[in-house]
Amino acid sequence: DMERRMLAFVFVGILLVLSTIIGIALAILLSKAAPKYNPHGCPAEYGFNPVLIVSLDGFRADYLERGLTPNIQALADMGVYAPFMKPSYPSITFPNHYTIVTGTYPETHGIIANSFYDPKFKKKFSYTKPIAREGRWWGAQPIWNTVNSQGGKSATYFWPGSGADIDGTHPNYWFPYNGSVSFEDRVDQVLDWVAMDYSERPSFISLYFNEPDHTGHDKGPESPEVNDQLMHVDGMIQRLTQGLMDQGHAGCVNIIIIADHGMATSGDGTSFKMTDYIANISDAAYTYPGAFSRINPKNKDPEVKFGMLEKLVCQEAMMRAYDREGLPTRFHFSNNPRIEDIVMDLEPGYSMDINTSDWSLNGQHGYDNYATVMNALFLAVGPAFQEALEVEPFQNIELYNLMCHLAGVDPAPNNGTQGSLDHILKSPPPRDPLTEENKPPTAEFPSKEELSNRLGISGCPGDLQVSEDWIYSLDVSEALQSELEQYHLPWGIPHSGDLPADLNLLHHGDYVTGYSSTLRMPLWTSFTISRSAQEVSVSEWSSDPRLTKDNTPSCASYDALKNVSMGPLFPHGHSKNSSLERVPYLVSNAVPMTSQVSMKWQELLVTKLNSWVMNYGGVNVVAGPIFDNNADSHPDDFTGIGETPEVPSDLFVVMTRCKTHASPKMCPPSQLDAQAFIYPLEQRVPNCMEPAEYMLMFSSKVRDVELATGLDLYPNLEVHDRVRLLVRIHDTLWE
């Protein structure tokens, strides 16, 4: 019996391998037999060019490398292709499909998962239930409504959200979801829409296939069955392009082919039991198990939530737990009451169940959108797109603005960045540069008579009784100010827009500060370094004589803060002149820091930055506080701040280097690279992470920093160079 079973197992394995080989051979033969798609030329009488977005649910970006999808590959080769597109967090089907058509994060549009509870409606949303067709669940404006409201027509085939009466309307042409409708019928309907008369034809069309996601969950992303589905959807793309050629419309349609997320291998032994950590979890909380697991305590006392968190953190290397407001800013998953109080962050492939770990899907998604296996497909081909162009990866919130441009409509407010995908267009629209701002005044060094009065203005232990030589380094000539700005602010002074910051510039040999009289602390500090930090003794804090009694902080006011002390924003170890090592301990360089963030600050801005300076040469750094206590990713109103320093919610860092030159200042703009970080001042229940793991988890896009601070960075760069740095994603740290 055992021998027969083994022979049968081997036989089945051989059959699976043979079927895959035959499938690959057939796919290659079919691709060679089919006429090459030619997206050029469109009949003059056809009129406008529709935009067609096709979603292949769960098509992981690296599936393309398997050689099973020659038709998709051919379109990628002839059009615009990105190695991957980042989903938005959580990397789940309904949230991401609706993000793609609104340009908004799930926390903004409200579809935070495939199922969730709304405390205002006191009802549960489920994508499989009729309640999902109620428009009140769906926030933001989907592109079909954008198009319709501006006189156009739209069509969707099974796109998530299109079956709901959002703002009382639907696409002009749509179908309620029916999974039994063949893929062929869906493609043929799209071809019929494209062939409509000018007056009836939609300018926006979407098409959805639920594969390879469905099979990926069931059999796993590495399975032969998924390979079969890759060939199946590739055949549907061939059917689509062949149909367009047969119609004579191949040069008329702008096609975007995407996925909503990737897929991770899962299976037996990859599930954690909630009851192993919180025995009474079913009685104490409402739970959403799975790869994207959440917990909502029934008792809303914050101590109950933190008590649960303490039982969850640092238990498993593959598992982290956050309270909603403590999630990394880059997730953009805090500012919605539908988000549960506790969110689990699991390594790809893992999941959580309530009280059993005996069963799991063979493929899972919903993880950190920076995970490689969550990367999604992106390519575009058509008359509006560049040809044979590979572009760097981007996040899917950027697609809505692009599609609105292609459809000839103005976008509704969204989280994307205008112009972020202009480089993939043959004829991008003009973009306005940043509005010019007046340069902030420089704080004046006092006269000799006034200097003695200001040496003790902040009442600090390091205050001078009489002037010392180093204090006169703060008396900077206009010529030297200009030199320091060019060196430490090579792309201009950050714009502060409408922020009521009341800024003054403070110049030092090692850094330049934008000091806020409103906050009584730096709004930002910028410095360029080209050598590693040195071991320097810590000095006592002292008054800055360029400040006055109306805008200086006092050391006593910091002493009154609980669990917070003064921390140097510019790290003193980066001082180049040993005779000026007390300068970083002027109160004008102080921001409130907890011991927790102070240690992380040292790891990032000294230890890690040292290694990057050794690898790359010069690195420019802009750092400062963030005031976002409601976690909405926008600055709080700080107009009512008194003499006591306002404690920031976070600290930010933006680092910029040159890929080809040791000096950031001398770098061609196209060769600039940037990575950013947003560190919470304190996490009451921190997860156990190694320094590099923490840095990546709390990294961000530069645009995230701009939104959270109200600043505009790189103001002197051309629009396209600036935007490129703002939206660039680093899902790994610099080497």
Catalytic residues: 93
Per DSSP, 169 falls in state B
From the list 728, 97, 23, the residue with the least C-alpha distance to 420 is 728
Per the listing, tokens 């459809």 go with 407
Q: Are 518 and 496 in contact (CB under 8 A)?
A: no
Beta sheet of 521-529, edge-to-edge order: 503-507, 512-516, 521-529, 619-626, 650-658, 672-680, 699-700
**Crossing angle for the helix pair 719-727 and 702-709, to the nearest 10 degrees:** 90
Query: How far apart are the C-alpha atoms of 622 and 463, rounded to whole Å?
Result: 28
HEC string of 384-428?
CECCCEECCCEEHHHHHHHHHHHHCCCCCCCCCCCCCCHHHECCC
Query: How far apart are the C-alpha atoms of 631 and 500, rounded to whole Å?
Result: 20
Q: Residues near 249 by Cβ (< 8 Å), separated by ≥ 6?
A: 42, 43, 46, 194, 195
User: Own/partner pairs for 238-246, CB < 8 Å, 24+ apart?
Assistant: 238/30, 238/31, 238/34, 238/71, 239/184, 239/187, 240/54, 240/187, 240/190, 240/191, 241/37, 241/71, 241/75, 242/34, 242/35, 243/187, 243/188, 243/191, 244/37, 244/191, 244/194, 245/35, 245/37, 245/38
| DSSP string computed for 533-578 | ----PPPPPB--TTS-TTT---HHHHHTSTT-EEEESS-GGG-S-G
Phi-psi bin for 502: left (phi > 0), alpha (psi -120 to 50), beta? Answer: left
Q: In 10 A of CB 224, how many CB atoms?
A: 16
Per DSSP, 135 falls in state G
Query: How far apart are the C-alpha atoms of 145 and 135, rounded to whole Å?
Result: 12
Per DSSP, 186 falls in state H
Phi (first) and psi of residue 507, to 5 degrees: -105, 135
Q: Which two tokens stand for residue 363?
A: 């493929």
Q: In 10 A of CB 62, how many CB atoms?
A: 15
Phi (first) and psi of residue 578, to 5 degrees: -65, -20
Q: In 10 A of CB 1, how many CB atoms?
A: 5
> Which amino acid is located at 41 in the chain?
G
Rg of the chain (C-alpha set): 28
Is the omega angle on the peptide bond into residue 429 within 30 degrees of 0, that is, cis? no
